[in-house]
Structures are given as structure tokens and as C-alpha cells.
Amino acid sequence: MADKMELNEVEVWDGNYAAAQALRQAQIDVVAAYPITPSTPIVETYGAFVANGYIDGEYVMVESEHGAMSTCVGAAASGGRVATATSSQGFMLMVEVLYQASGMRLPIILNVVNRAIASPLNVRGDHGDMYAGRDSGWVQLDAFNAQEAYDLNLCAFKIAEDVNVRLPAMVHQDGFLTSHTAQNVSPLSDDEAYEFIGDYKAIDEMLDFSKAVTYGAQTEEDWHYEHKAKQHRALMDSYVVIDRVFAEFKEKTGREYKRVESYMMEDAEVAIVALGSTVETAIQAAEELRENEGLKAGVVAPRCFRPFPFEDIQEVLKDVKAVAVLDRSCPMGAMGALFNEVSASMYTTTSRPIITNFIYGLGGRDFSLEDAKHIFREQKGHADVGYITTQIQQFSGLRGPKLGFFESKRSK
Amino acid sequence: MIEIRWHSRAGQGAVTGAKGLGDVVSRTGKQVQAFALYGSAKRGAAMRAYNRIDDKPIINHAKFMLPDYVLVIDPALAFSDNITENDKPETQYIITTHLDKKELIAQIPELQDKSERVYVVDCMQISLDTIGRAIPNAPMLGAFVKVSKMFELEDFLESMKRVLAKFPQKIIDANMSAITRAYNEVK
Amino acid sequence: MKGVLPTDRRGVRELGAEDLVGWDEVTHGVVLNSFDGIVEDVAQVAPEERPYSDFNSYTATVASWRVIKPVYNRDICIDCQNCWVWCPDTSIISRDKQMLGIDYDHCKGCGVCVEVCPTNPKSLLMFAEAQEPEDALAKWPEKKKKEKK
């Protein structure tokens, strides 16, 4: 029986340590990992927990991230609770197996500590890896600080393992900005946390020898399409379970999560839509603008990147005049992915606010309060005249001549 | 909101110092943030760590700050790094050096109009004497306690003991004397 | 086509002839059950007695692919199991190390079993698919004499 750990009501943890503690409390059967910066401390800390008798499960060192996720798939198909962590290049090497995991409906939890993708090599935070996972069939939850990295891990197990979901889930946090930033975190006790997550219920586990099953069957055009459609439906419908788990979590802790978080949107005229730690910085900028300049600014943040909260975005942005959607990943030859998705949501409404796109923070480039305020003010400019006064896609915080693309063809 | 910027070399314990400070401050009921900017930097590379302290939750994740305190724990960085970056009129500097304050300021033009805001302490010598290694983070915390007047020394030492609880008693004791000595010696 | 044993469910349908169901009815995670229901200690249950599910390829036949087939002659066979070991389609039916015959629902007529048969004459020989087994057995060759050196 694993030892329990006494935790203080308030701890000062960084995002990695918070995630590792949540994984420990989940009492996972198998963690297979190939550590990579900035996610290394998650599995390093977890390994120490195993070695020191705080976990009954297995910690498997493998030869690559492809091997890590493959081991997770095998262990999950065998019938165990399974998790791991990765970042950036490691994530890219896992991608092939991510699709296997979701296609086999294995509720693996993957902590993705977001980091830029080479080349050029960079260990800092941007959302390139998170975006690379967006078609992989996983639930993707996004934490904006260390407390949320802890909370969302607990929720992720409960969401992924629900009999109506049975899909793997990623918990994202920003490399360094969240993963290596220590802040006040209020954890649950080991018993409370485990009770919230519950025992793992295996489904179609390969280690049940009385019910032999095949995982990873081949299907051609006669079956493949139906299976993928069913999987897509499961992910689309998972919002019901996500909402329920968030409600139960609030009941337990008082901390409220929504698939789309919104701040000061009740009367907002302009808004920033963003992901990650940027959300909080933008909130502070909006607060200061409201106080000092009377600018009615608000912030919208998809807590749940997948399933994408299409209708919730429609609802929360319906009365806004101008929206800036911030993508922390270089879209390389297109508009930002978050911009495209938010725009698609709003295009199918009658309000159709002005929407522009900012690329920012690549490779960990600082995003300051002043950067956020500049974006808000620019939105106010669009709102006042009723059309887009800048290029539609701009680069924030970039050295050199101003870089931007495309003009609006909408009539004033 | 109080903002602190540490100037350090990777391996000198600025990250541990910033996190330790955050840990202690959180025990007074305050909200804290401790982070650092480093990555693949090798031991000895110049780096910076940061603290924010406030009564309400800290949501600013930018590294950009107008620091209230600049803590320099590597003697050479006082000369080579831009320690007065984003200075404001009330920014206070605690610099580790074997020089006395006058000698130090004479050699750093940027500090010449800020001399009443500059404090010096020899964290290197103190850590060598007490801990036995050049780990200047603990003495810097002692100097910070004195300069900031944010805590009583006794309370700080008590909290620090709890933060260090996982270490052997010998190490805890050494850190306590390092903090106390720097508290008494900072000028 | 039925199997050689009365309980055998092999060959119940042609491959691909199953009812194609909609997306809402396909299995969860493409997980395929080998058997219908619970089967304890499956290794001790003879293949023809296992409740293979329709998802198991055991229940699909590829027999019509074959143009020549092996015919088995019990009178000559020494139950050496060579054919059982070598058959790439597990189409040699053997029980307690005694040869029972050929699984014609899965045999593709490759002839490996004939190649590896050590008896003289061989206990397995290839005949045209349409040839009745009785006629084939009636044409069985005599034992070959060793050539003098």
C-alpha cells in the first residue's frame, strides 16, 4: 500500500510539481516516460514518488517518446490507469501514437508542457506542440497557472475515464511561464483527490483472459470511416461530461472551471481571445484599461481546446464589437488556428464582430501588460469606426519592420 | 504588488532562493510568484529569477517588470549585467560584493545617482564561511529581510526552517547562520 | 461449406459478406472480441468448440481462392505433425497429436503440407479442387523403391 503525503493547505508549487502531485494522488498503474524540457520535472518528480513508496504503480523508462506513448497504449489496453508527460520535439515524436490511443479509446492522460518546435531549437513556451495535437482525437484542457495544472489533471482523469467518453486527454500548461513558475497552490488531501477521481474501471482490458480482444484492428474503406465518425461524435459529445466533472469539482473545491472562460465580458466592447498564461496577463491589462482609460475590455479563453466550444464562443462574443484572437504558434502560410476557429464560430451568428489575428510570444517571447493593452486599444479603434483599420493578421512583439497580412474586404 | 529581480549565475541558487522566498512569504498569507528565465543555460551562465508578492492572486505572467528590489548574488554581474534595467525611483539594490559600498558605486556609473538605494553584503564570503560552498542565495535572503523590513528575522528564520525541513539539520543550521550573518552585515 | 467436425463454426460466411452496420453500431475503439461471451481457459478449448465471434477471421472463409487442394490419406500418415507445424494458415486439424484432416475453409492450397510430408508415398497430395476425395484416394501412388546407387 502506497504511503500518503501530508500537504499544507497552501503550497508554493510550480506547474510541473503541481501536475506531478496530481498524478501521484491519482495512483496511476503505469507511467512510461522519456523526459524532455520543460516537462522533465513532472516525470522526474513522479519517479521519485514511486521510488520513495508513495505510489504502487510502475514507472517505465523507455527509449523515446514514441516508445513512451506506445507503452502507455499497451498498458491502457491491458486495463490500467496510465499517464505521461512531454513537450515539443517529444510531443512530435509521440504524434503517430496519439492517434492510436484515441482511436482505441484509451483514457490516457498526457501532460503537455507547451514548448516551441525546432528549428531553431528553443526550450521555451509557445503553443506549437499543443496545436499539433488538435486533430489527434484527444480532449485538450488548458491550464493558465500552476493551480489549474493541478486541478485540471484531477478533472482530466475523471473526464477521460468516464464510460461515455473513454478518450485520452491532454492537460496543457505553458513551458516555464507556468511549469517553472511557483505560485500559491491549494491542493486536496490525498484521500479527497483520489475519492474525486475514483477507482479506475477497465473496459475491454486485454488482461481479462476470459474475454479475448483485439486492439488496433485494420479497417479499410468499409469500416474506417464509421469508426472515425463514432470517435468524433464521442469527442464532440464529451462536453456533457466535462461540464459535469467541472461542476463536481466546484462542489468539492469551490474552484470553478468552464469550457470557455470569460472575464469582464458582461459589458465588454472589445475582447482578446487567447490560451495559456497569456489569458491572465490579458485579464490584468483589461482591468487596468477599464480603471484607467474607461475601455470596456474583456478576455475570453477556451479552457477546452478540444472539443472546441463552438457554441459557447458564439454566446460569449455575441455582443462584442471587435475581437483580437491571439495565436502563440506560427501558422506558416495561413491565419492562426484559434483565429480560424473563433471566426468560424462567429461567422455563423448574426452579430459577426470584427475579428483580427495576432501572432505573438513565439519561442517564449515575453508578452507584457503593455503588449496586451496595445492590442485592446487597437480593437477599440476598429470598433469606433466599424471596420478593420489594420491588416487582419499582425505580429505582436516582433523586432524589425511591421509584419502583417491581408486587408478586410467588408464594407463599412 | 512587490516585484523582485534576481541577477545570478546558473548554479548559484537564484531559482531556489526565489522559490524559497516565495514559500516563506506564502506562509504569511500572501500570494506569491517565483520564476526564472533559463533553459539550456550551462552552469555559470548569467540568468535572472523573479518574484512577485501581492495580497491578491498574481495573474501577470510577463517577465517584464519595474522591480522594487534588485538582488545581485554574483559579484561580477553587478558590473557586466544591466542591473538597473527598468529602474524606478524607489528601486532598491542589494549587491553581493567584497568591496565597500563607496568603492562599488565608484566603479558602476549607473548606480551613482542611486547610492542611497544601494546596499552591499558579501554573500559569497558568508556562504563560504557558514555553508562551506559559494551558494550565495541564503545570505541574500537575510539581507533582503533586513532591507525590505517585510519580516521579523525570527519569523523568517522559523519559516525558512520549515521550507528546508527535508535537509539534514547541519545544512539547516548553516543556512540559518548565513541568513542571520547577512542580516547583520548588510549595509 | 461446413467444417470437418459437426460443432465447427468455421466458414459460416464469406469474407466481407457481413451486414455492414452504421457508425453508431460499430464497436468502441475498434476493439474486436474474439469470442461471443466469456471463455475461461481458452487454451484448453479446441478451436472448433470455441464460440468465435463474427469479428474473428476464423469465421470467414477464403476457400474459393484455392484451385488445387491437399487430400489426406490416413492409411499412410505417421502423425509426425510436420504439416501442422508448417501450414501457414493453421488449416491442418490435429487433436492429441493425431491428424484429423484439412480445414478446407481456410486452406489456400499452397501445397506446403505436401512438401514437408516425410512418408513414402506421401500422406498428403495435391488434387484438382473438383476432385472427390474418394477418387483421389483411389489414385494414390505406390511406395517408391529406393534407387540403387
In chain A, where the domains are located: 11-187+211-253, 260-405
Closest Cβ opposite residue A211 in set C16, C20, C38: C38
| For range B4-25, the mean pLDDT | 91
Q: Which of C14, C25, C28, C39 is the best mutation test for A, with the most CBs of A within 10 A?
A: C28
As a whole number, mean pLDDT of residues B92-109 equals: 95
- pTM comes to 0.90
Q: How many CB atoms lie within 10 A of CB B89?
A: 6
The residue segments making up the domain with residue C20 are 1-61
Q: Does B149 lie at the interface with A, CB-CB under 8 angstroms?
A: no
pLDDT value of position C123: 97
CA A267, CA A45: separation in Å to the nearest integer?
44
The answer to whether A155 contacts chain C (CB < 8 Å) is: no
Q: Which residues of B46-71 are buried (b: 16+ CB within 10 A; e: fewer)?
A: ebbbbbbbbeeebbbbbbbbebbbbb
Q: Contacts from A342-348 at CB under 8 Å and sequence distance 24+?
A: A342/A273, A342/A313, A342/A317, A344/A310, A345/A310, A345/A311, A345/A313, A345/A314, A345/A317, A346/A313, A346/A314, A346/A317, A348/A314
Specify the pLDDT at position A279. 98
Determine if residue A276 is left, alpha or beta; phi over 0 gives left, psi from -120 to 50 gives alpha, anything else beta: left
List CB contacts of B168: < 8 A, sequence separation 6 or more: none
* CATH classification of the domain holding C126: 3.30.70.20
Q: Are C123 and C74 in the same domain?
A: yes
Q: What is the pLDDT of residue C19?
A: 60
User: Of C46, C61, C76, which residue constitutes the final position of a domain?
Assistant: C61
Residue A17 in this model has a pLDDT that exceeds 50: yes
Contacts of C18 in chain A (CB under 8 A): none
Residues C120, C88 share a domain = yes
pLDDT of the residue at B13 = 86
pLDDT at C17: 39
Are residues C14 and C68 both part of a single domain?
no
The predicted structure's pLDDT at residue C149: 67
C44 and C68 belong to one structural domain: no
CA distances from A297 to A272, A291, A341, A380 (A): 8, 10, 21, 9
Enter the C-alpha cell of residue B46.
Answer: 548569467
Last residue of a domain, one of C30, C61, C92: C61
Interface of A with C in 184-223 (CB under 8 A): 203-204, 209-217, 219, 222-223
Residue A174 banded pLDDT, cuts 50, 70, 90: very high
Mean pLDDT, residues B1-29 taken together: 91
Beta strand pairing call for A393-395 and A354-359 = parallel
Q: What is the ipTM of this complex?
A: 0.88
Q: CB distance B61–A37 less than 8 Å?
A: no
Could you report the per-residue pLDDT of A47-93, keeping only the tens digit for each?
999 999 999 999 999 999 999 999 999 999 999 999 999 999 999 99
Is it the case that residue C8 has pLDDT exceeding 60? no
Q: Are C32 and A217 a contacting pair at CB < 8 A?
A: yes
Is the minimum CB–CB distance between B62 and chain A shorter than 8 Å?
yes
C-beta atoms of A177 and B61 within 8 A: yes
Does domain B2-78+87-185 match CATH 3.40.920.10?
yes
Residue C32: per-residue pLDDT? 87
Residue C147 lies in a domain: no
Are C49 and C82 within one domain? no
Please write down the HEC assignment for all residues of A323-367.
Answer: EEEEECCCCCCCCCHHHHHHHHHHHCCCCCCEEEEEECCHHHCCC
- Chain C, nearest residue to A100 by Cα: C29
Q: Is there an interface between B and A (3+ Cβ pairs < 8 A)?
A: yes
Residue A233 has a pLDDT of: 96
Instruction: With residue B35 as reference, give the H or E element that holds it.
Output: strand B31-37
**C132 and C107, same structural domain?**
yes
> Do the chains C and B touch each other, judged by at least 3 C-beta pairs below 8 angstroms?
no
- Residue A245 reports pLDDT greater than 80: yes
- d(CA A110, CA A116) in angstroms, rounded, equals 17
Q: According to the model, what pLDDT value does residue C9 have?
A: 47
pLDDT given at position C24: 86
Residue C146 lies in a domain: no
Chain C residues closer than 8 Å to A229 by CB: 23
SS (H, E, C) B110-141: HHHHHHHHEEEECHHHHHHHHCCCCCCHHHHH
Mean of pLDDT values over B19-23 = 92
**Do the strands C98-102 and B31-37 form a parallel or antiparallel pair, or are they unpaired?**
unpaired
Distances (CA, A) of A111 to A42, A87, A290, B7: 8, 8, 35, 31
Q: pLDDT band for position A412 (50/70/90)?
A: low
Q: Residue C21 pLDDT > 90, yes or no?
A: no
B59, B159, B164, best to mutate vs chain A, most A CBs in 10 Å: B59
The domain defined by A260-405 carries CATH number 3.40.50.920: yes
A96, pLDDT greater than 60: yes
User: Which run of H or of E encompasses A193?
Assistant: helix A190-197
Domain tally, chain C: 2
Q: Which residues of C touch A220 (CB under 8 A)?
A: none
| Strand ranges across the sheet with B46-54 | A11-13, A182-185, B31-37, B46-54, B2-9, B69-72, B92-96, B118-121
**Most confident segment among A279-293, B13-27, B125-139:** A279-293
Please list the helix, strand and coil fractions of chain C in percent, rounded to the nearest 5, in that order.
20, 20, 60
pLDDT for C16 beyond 50: no
Over the stretch A18-54, which tens digit does the pLDDT of each residue have? Answer: 999 999 999 999 999 999 999 999 999 999 999 999 9
Domain boundaries, given as residue ranges, for chain B: 2-78+87-185
Which residue of B lies nearest to A278 if distances are taken between CA atoms? Answer: B61
For the CA atoms of A51, A52, A57, A62, the dihedral, rounded to the nearest 10 degrees, stands at -20
**pLDDT at position C4:** 43
Cβ contacts from A onto B, under 8 A: 74
Question: In 3-state terms, what secondary structure has residue A69?
Answer: helix
Mean pLDDT over each residue of chain C, to the nearest integer: 84
Do C54 and C90 reside in the same domain of the chain? Answer: no
CATH class as words, domain A11-187+211-253: alpha beta
The answer to whether residue C149 is domain-embedded is: no
Q: For residue A411, what pLDDT is reported?
A: 67
**Residue C47 Cα, gap to closest chain A Cα (Å):** 14
Half-sphere exposure of B13 (CA within 13 A, CB side): 17
As a whole-number percent, the residues of chain A with pLDDT over 90 amount to 96
Cell of A125: 513556451
What is the distance between the alpha carbons of residues B161 and B172, in angstroms, rounded to a whole number? 7
- Which of A73-82, B35-44, B62-71, B175-184 has the least mean pLDDT? B35-44
